[in-house]
Amino acid sequence: MSQKDEKIALYIANAAELGLRLSDDLISKVATALGPSIYNADSETVACSQESELDTIKNNFLIKKLGVNASNDIMNAAIKSACEKMGTGNRNKYRVLVYALLVKEFNKESVYN
């Protein structure tokens, strides 16, 4: 099993453990799109308490990658909701899963087809 496959298996298992209802296919596609960042411990996770991190997710992922055209309040609420679904006590909020939740929230699965 390749290192990428191991990471994807970890994310799929974590999503199932948290009851996130994300498809294995979407998790795999988001992980692939994130490229080398999934192998770096710092960039692999999301710091939901850091405002600058949340702004980066909003600007670089929601707006630039997914093309979301919604108010800041809606985007901020979606990011907050994704973080909450990952669990407030969960220290490993994997970026792949947070992004996959946002893809589903904004019905942007077509970006990964």
| Angle subtended at Cα 100 by Cα 50 and Cα 27, rounded to the nearest 5 degrees | 125
pLDDT in tens, 1-32: 899 999 999 999 999 999 999 999 999 999 99
The residue type of 98 is: V
Residue-wise pLDDT for 61-107, tens only, equals 999 999 999 999 999 999 999 999 999 888 889 999 999 999 999 99
**The pLDDT of residue 56:** 95
Q: What is the per-residue pLDDT for 109? A: 96
pLDDT score at 89: 86
- pLDDT at res. 88: 84
**Would you say 28 and 8 are in contact if contact means Cβ atoms under 8 Å apart?**
yes
Is the domain covering 3-112 a CATH 1.10.238.120 domain? yes
Domain ranges of the chain: 3-112
Query: Model pTM greater than 0.85?
Result: yes
